[in-house]
Chains A and B, each alone.
Chain A
Amino acid sequence: MQYRGAMQKMQAGKGPKKKNVMKRLMEKRAADSHVGIALVLLLLVVLQTLVLGFDYDSFGHWFNSWFRNWINILRNNAGVGIVSLGMTFVIITGGIDLAVGSTLVATGAVIMTLIDTGAKGVLGAAGMTGVPAYAITIVAALALGYLLGTGIGLLITRGRIAPFIATLGAMKVFRSVTQHFMQGYNPRVPRDFLQISNLQVGGLMFMPIVYWAVIALILYFVSKRTTFGRQVIAVGSNERAAQLSGVNVNRVKTRTYSLMGILVAIASVVQVARIGSMDYANAGSGMEMDAIAAAVVGGTSMAGGRGTILGTVLGMLIIAVMNNLLNLFGVPPFLREAFKGLIVVMAVLLQRKQRA
């Protein structure tokens, strides 16, 4: 937890003993941060830099291309990155969400239908265009994501269905229904809407990265400082003790899935705005595994009770750099998945050793 506020207050004039307590608190926080994962990431980045080749003579030029490569990596992973943040909360409570890819296409379909500039476009037909139409679309997408997520959450908590089964079912249902209703319909996304993801500043497209970073910051705060964030840890670590401490376990769990739904909807907006279309059969498939991998590599325990937002961001970055490296090394595409699998297993093995 963060104690900075308290610390300033203590330092402002209270006894020296309390000051010591606060100091030690801060030290401990530094110690249990993610030094191991960060080191692995650093190693991979150095390796990547070496592979790309370091050019002493024209540093400016070299740095420019290195930087652009990084913007590309981050932008390509922003969607899964956002989803992996929500997955962290879900996994900490001891759950799992396999339905994220399908929720992505379901919300994507709603976005496309609303925003379509063609004859069938809902908002266009109502005479609504431009920013108000975009705002309505985004709100509608978030609302749908929230509803689908909450539905899954209630199925798990009230219906007492194992998270794996409930979300496996939802995964099949959401995608198949979406595909059914969207077949033979090719909406056109207005060009201005694409600015959400493709806005260029100084010749760089980095908006998805900004969204990812902002959401990560917000959720970092949520996980460390809010009742909900801490109750998630409590529920995951010892559900019975949490319940007997007055925590509404079912509500906490349901909310993690609701949050997951909203985050998937955001990822959906980012994705539709990036490419202006959506492949309902394939978009987001495998996304759940990438999100789980990021969380697990970042130190989240599948048994629940342990995991952090910072860890998941680092985990996502490791996977992203790894992908980039495999690309640079020219590893054949089919083999890349094997490496991804190996990283996840190795990360967990390493963490187990660290803890022992």
Chain B
Amino acid sequence: MSSVALHRVPAERLSRKPRNAGQYATLYLFLAPFAVMTILFGLWPIADSIRIAFTDSSTALSDAPVYVGLENFRSVLADTTFQSSLWRTLLYTVLAVSINVSAAIGLAVLLAHPALRRGRTLFKLAIFLPVITPDVASFIVWKWMFNQNFGIVNHTLLSLGLPPFPGVTRPVSAFATLLIVEAWQHVGLYTLIFLTNLQLLDRTLDESAQIDGANGWQRLIYVTIPQLRPAITINTVYALIEFLKTFTVIFVITKGGPNFSTNFISYYAYTKFTGAQYGEATAIATILFVIVFGLAASAYAYLERSANR
């Protein structure tokens, strides 16, 4: 018996080795294009961007860039326009995340209601349609809908006897305009995720709560929403990352104005870039990257921990 085993092991090892090598080579071949593209158009630009953040802007693109240490970071952090744009971005992110996540819960609970059996797909389609729509187009349409002269928004408000909405002409309302437009654009995605989660819920909990005499609101707040926690966490993390990077809506609708009231970090970095201040632009990009990375990493750690519990 032992002689058989002894005999078999080396034979197997012999036949395995070249086959594994060939197999691994093929797998590396399959991965190669993905690896090359991730490096060329992902990791290299990021590394390059961080490198440029340490150079003097006027020499950044030359063959002999002058490295200035943390000078760009120092000047950016001391720049009051940057400071206010950072706080503005964080405020916007907190508001946008809360609005989108809570509106999405509301919409999902409404759409999952048994009374709405007929037409549910149509309602879902309507809410999700903006998600796949090219955002440049929809933001331009909204820009004109908020127009003071022939925008439909003010026309509706006036015909209802309400005061007109100043839209992008005033700082606070411009900020609010972006929140409204972006909620319209993105809430469908979050709603869809909540709807899926709702369909997986344990119905017996709801039934026993009803037998115990809980009314609709009580069941929603004490039974349904606690069960939505995984989807709430996912949506919050996802929305956090997305809204921190807000850019297109500013580029299309407000260009950072009026009076810098919608000048968010991404847009501020972009204006630095177009102004050939490459060192400052990439320093701002690096700071935003660190913020997004820190938030995403801690959210990921939190998710892992609650999943292992």
The finding on whether chains A and B are genuine partners in a shared complex, rather than unrelated, reads no
B residues lining the A interface (CB < 8 Å): none
